Structure formats: C-alpha cells, structure tokens
Amino acid sequence: MSVRKTSKGQASITCNNGYLRISLPRTLNEGSQKYIPLALKNTPDNRAKAQLKLKLVQRDIDYDEFDNTFAKYSPNPSKALVKQESTVKDLIDSFEEKYFFKIVENRQTVKTFKVHIYWLKRSFSDCYNLLLSAEIITQAIKKTSAGSNNRVRLTNTLSIFCKHFKFEYDFTGLADGYKPKDRDLPEDDAIECAYKLIQNTKSTKNEKIIKRAESWGWVLMILATYGLRPHELFAINYEKSFKEPYYVIELDGTLTGGTKTGDRKIYPIPLEWVKKYQLYDVRNQVLLNYPNEITRFTCLLAGRIRDKKNHFKENEDLAQCLNFQAYDLRHRYAIRAHELGNPVEATSRWMGHSVTMHVGKYHKYLKDDTDRKVFEAALHRSEELERFNNDRPSYEDLEAKLKLAQEKIKLLEDEIIILKLPMYKQG
C-alpha cells in the first residue's frame, strides 16, 4: 500500500505553439523546468484528455511514484510517426516539444533550436501546407549548392528534424565536399603585441577609460591563454578559478543559462602568460558592463579589435598584429597545445570536444611549421630526460656517500663522548 508523502509541487497543463504539454514542478528536477509533451493540439476535447493525463502525473508525484523517464506518460510511440494529415507547418509547429523532450532547455540549446527553425522555415517556405515527403526534402536540399556551408547547415537541420518525427530519408554524402576558407591563425608574438595595442588609450588620463582598456586586454589574453569561446567568459566561476599553482579556470553554465559544451575545467597554455600578464588579477569590467549582451559579446570584441586595427593602419606591422578574429584565439590555443606536446585527449576535454571532433576540426590548421615545433618539443623532452638520467647518481655512488656520512657521524659521536669526560668538564 502506498503511503502518501508531502507534495513535491503541482503539475499543470500549458500550451506551446498550439500543442498541449504538462509543465512539471521544478522541485522534481533540481530547479530546472521540464515538460511532458502530449502531442495533442489545443482543442476543448484534447484539453479533457490532457486533464486525465495530468491527474495520473500528479498522483505519481504525490506518492513518490513519478517516472523520471516519462515513458509512462508519453504518447504511444506508434503515434509519434508522421501522420498522413500532418503538414510541414504542423510538424514545424510541434518540433519544439519533441526537440526539448530529451535536451535540457537553456540559453545555448534555445539558440541552437532557433537556428534549426530558421533553416526549416527558409527551406519549406513554399510548401508549408503540403504533407512532408521525400520529394519535398529533396527539393529543399537542391536549393543549396553542393559543397557549400549552407548545404552542410541545412542537411544537419533536416536530419535532426526527420529523426524526431521518425521520417526516413537518406542524407548520406549530401554534406560532403565542403571546405571552409583557410584562416591564418595569429602567432603568439602577434597575440602579445595585440594585448598591448588593444589597451591603447591615446594617452588619456581618464582613469575610467584606462581601466576599461585594461579590461579589454585581460579579456583578449584570457581567450588566448584558455581557449574560451567569447560567451564563456561570462560563465567563469571566479571563486573556484585562478588558484595556484596552475591557475585552472572552472566554467559554470548556471551563471549564463548554459554553455555550448557544458561545464569543465581548463588549464592555461602557456602557464607563463598567466604570470606574465597577471591574469589571476581579474579585470572583467567590460563583462560587467554588458551583463545582457552574452550572445553579442563576440561582435563587441570584434568591434574593439577592428577599431584598434584602423587606429594603427598607418603602421602596417602593428595593424597586422590585430589581423585576426576573436575565435582565432581559441583555434590558436588548440594548435599551441599540440605544438607543446599536450595529449590530444586532455586538450579536447578542456575545450569541450570529443577527440574525433577535435582532430577533425583543427587538423586543417596544422602546417609544416607546426610539425617542426612538435618535433622540437619532443626532442627537447627527450634531451631533458637523458640529461636527468645522466646527472642522476648511480645506486653505487649513493651507497658510497651514505657510508661516508655514517662514518662521519660515528666520529662526531666519539668526539661528543670524549668531551663529556670529567677531565674535559673540569678544564
């Protein structure tokens, strides 16, 4: 017999994009809001059906019998298939419910979902009221050029869309052939030069302007030293970060409503920059000035870099130091880690990637010069190890030194005994 326990909150019926769902109390999910999609349009008859499902859910919550997998409350899987009467518009309207059924809804996942909706509406704009079919999908794909970035983005969205509605379509090879434009990543000496230039304040004595400029420099070096994405600057947990001896940064997605690749710890590469530029002395004023501009901060930083590049345009060498994009600092972090011989498993984890994704993403940035640096780093480690082994005394040498030390100790002990004799005490 079930024993009634204290209620963990009240579930309720809500509507989203014309479809009904059950909103669960936050107490069930450690404060996060979750929903049970019902796959029912918002009509009087369906609301009555939803109320019956709500009673079952609420009873299970009250009696501590709630099914956290939602399997008990979800629609029959067979009914989840695309129905003949479901138009493209119907499916797009109900896509959000299905998308966030398994994915945690936060700032970053909502942003990704909006990108998917953009591509769906753009691709199916002329067939909203038609039934979804393989022919419609093929026509949508043909609107993009083979080997283009748009083809990659569209096929990615369509494959996710079809998977959620169990609609079979073969996307194999449709995204092949795309090659992003080559980008020359800034060398480390250019980054250090940019750190100085981005703080230029035209000899002003205004303390506020100077502090703000120093903050831009701090932001730039944090991105370069830790390989962060610009929006992840807002997710730094300062209480847990910049602790000696390695000054690791910890990201906490709850501070920003979610990061692209989750919470993680990140080690600085190189460690010397943390000390050289005193990055542990937090100068995040520009972040505090834009608390609601997380998604736009990349553009704001790009604007700062562009303005300083224009300011120094008369000096070609200095302007060249600022010839990079904000994300290039993250890419350079990955290559620098490779040059220094850091294990790819560790680097990919710090950057929030799988090893496969990490290698695939950054392999194109490897050059002959990179290979030379990798070889030199490995050679240096080998020489250091050999030097250590050569300088290390042998077991026999240590044993001989120990024997001499023991003999010296014995002589000292004998001298102490002699000094304690009466004739020495009287003297």
Residue 67 confidence (pLDDT): 82
Give me 313's structure tokens. Answer: 């345009």
Residue 106 has pLDDT above 60, yes or no: yes
Residues near 32 by beta carbon (within 8 Å), at least 6 away in sequence: 26, 104, 105
Residue 380 has pLDDT above 70, yes or no: no
Dihedral sign from CA coordinates of 269, 271, 274, 277: negative
Categorize the per-residue pLDDT at 150 as very low, low, confident or very high, splitting at 50, 70 and 90: very high
Cα separation of 77 and 244, whole Å? Answer: 53
More confident residue, 420 or 331: 331
Residue 81 confidence (pLDDT): 45
Residue 78 confidence (pLDDT): 40
* Residue (of 202, 200, 242, 229) closest to 217 by Cα position: 200
What are the residue boundaries of the structural domains of the chain, listed by start?
1-80, 82-179, 188-378, 395-426
Q: Are 353 and 337 in contact (CB under 8 A)?
A: no
**CATH class of the domain comprising 188-378:** mainly alpha
The whole-number average pLDDT for the span 288-312 is 86
Strand order in the sheet with 35-41: 12-16, 19-23, 35-41
The whole-number average pLDDT for the span 292-320 is 88
Residue 303 confidence (pLDDT): 92
Residue 186 has pLDDT above 90, yes or no: yes
More confident residue, 257 or 34: 34
Q: How does the average pLDDT of the chain come out, rounded? A: 84
Residue 113 confidence (pLDDT): 92
Residue 162 confidence (pLDDT): 92
pLDDT digits (tens, 9 = 90+) for 17-76: 778 889 999 888 877 788 888 878 888 888 888 888 898 888 888 888 888 877 777 665
Cα separation of 196 and 374, whole Å? Answer: 28
Give me 325's structure tokens. Answer: 């994009």
* Residue (of 3, 23, 1, 2) closest to 14 by Cα position: 23
pTM of the predicted model as reported, rounded to 2 decimal places:
0.60
Q: Pairing mode, if any, of strands 249-251 and 264-266?
A: antiparallel
pLDDT digits (tens, 9 = 90+) for 194-237: 999 999 877 677 888 889 999 999 999 999 999 999 989 999 99
Residue 369 confidence (pLDDT): 66
Cα 88 to Cα 20, 94, 136, 161, distances in angstroms: 19, 10, 9, 11
